[in-house]
Amino acid sequence: MLLIGLEALGASITRTLDRLGLAARFSWGVVSVAGICLVRFSLLVREMYFSGVKSLAIISVSGLFVGMVLAVQGYEVLQRFGSAESLGSLVALSLVRELGPVVSALLFAGRASSAVTAEIGLMRATEQLAAMDMMAVNPLARIVAPRFMAAVVSLPLLAVIFSSAGVLGAYLVGVQLIGIDDGAFWSQMQASVDFRVDVLNGLIKSVVFGVAVGLISVFEGYHAAPTAEGVSSATTRTVVTSSLSVLVLDFVLTVSMFRGLS
């Protein structure tokens, strides 16, 4: 009984290590051919359309509503301390530092990465990737790299758009509906949000999330079992793994970026 348990443990560790090694080698392969996107720019543009432009609606609407909710809840707490004017800095800091990069990465994983995984997985299942290999076209460069780079380029842009929409939503609710002073709202915000510390660090975060989400989606698609079931489970794995790694990476990045700040 004990022996069987130990055997299962060993097998699962070997499998995990095997997959990690495969992922590392695959990632290196993708990153090393990612430069092709600069030469064949139209490939990147096409993928950016499907992952970036088509995510614009969900990202901007979610941002708007997240900002509005933050304004309502933040006002509720802040007015107890008589500092409702700080609402601007509360909303802007939470959006720029955390919610913008993280929530847009989560939405991106659900909206765009799952589609990329399903697409590449289906290409694998219908042997389109094998056919490309036969024609001496490197599928990593032709199919995988543009999709990966599209995530890396699109996600920071989407995160900034999310934060801007959120600030506008907070402005609508805080200033137009609740009636906080317009000037105080913006000036408190400007006094507390630092471009280098807050905005640029948020941008760096979303680039890292873009790399993680992009790599996970193409890896899961490329190594999906070539069956209908395999593609569906690969898509699920993409969303689950991306979301978890975004949240874990966010913690690591936040600790390293903002620890020194008082």
Partner 1 sequence: MNRSKFDLAVGVFVALGMLALGFMALRVGNLASFDGSEGYRLEARFDNIGGLKSRAPVKSAGVVVGRVESIKLDNTTYEAVVSLRVKPEYRFSNDTIASILTSGLLGEQYLSLDVGGDPSYLSDGARIVKTQSAFVLEKLIGQFLFNKAAESSGTSK
Binding region for partner 1 (CB under 8 A): 42, 45-46, 48-49, 52-53, 56, 92, 96, 154, 156-158, 160-161, 163-164, 167, 186, 189-191, 193-195, 198-199, 203, 262
Residue type for position 77: V
Q: CB of 202: closest distance to partner 1 in angstroms?
A: 8
Closest distance between partner 1 and the C-beta of residue 14, in Å?
43
Q: Which residues of 102-116 are buried (b: 16+ CB within 10 A; e: fewer)?
A: bbbbbbbbbbbbbbb
- For the bound state, the minimum distance from the C-beta of residue 88 to partner 1, rounded and expressed in Å, comes to 9
**Closer CB to partner 1, 28 or 258, in the complex:** 258
Q: CB-wise, 129 or 170, nearer to partner 1?
A: 170
Q: Name the minimum Å distance from CB 216 to partner 1.
A: 23
Our CB check for partner 1 shows the closer of 129 and 175 to be 175
Nearer to partner 1, 160 or 218 (CB): 160
- Work out how close the CB of 126 gets to partner 1 at its nearest, in angstroms, rounded to a whole number: 23
Shortest reach from residue 125's CB to partner 1, in Å: 26
Rounded CA-CA distance 167/63 in Å is 8
Q: Which is nearer to partner 1, 121 or 210 (CB)?
A: 210
Question: Is the CB of 104 or the CB of 235 nearer to partner 1?
Answer: 104
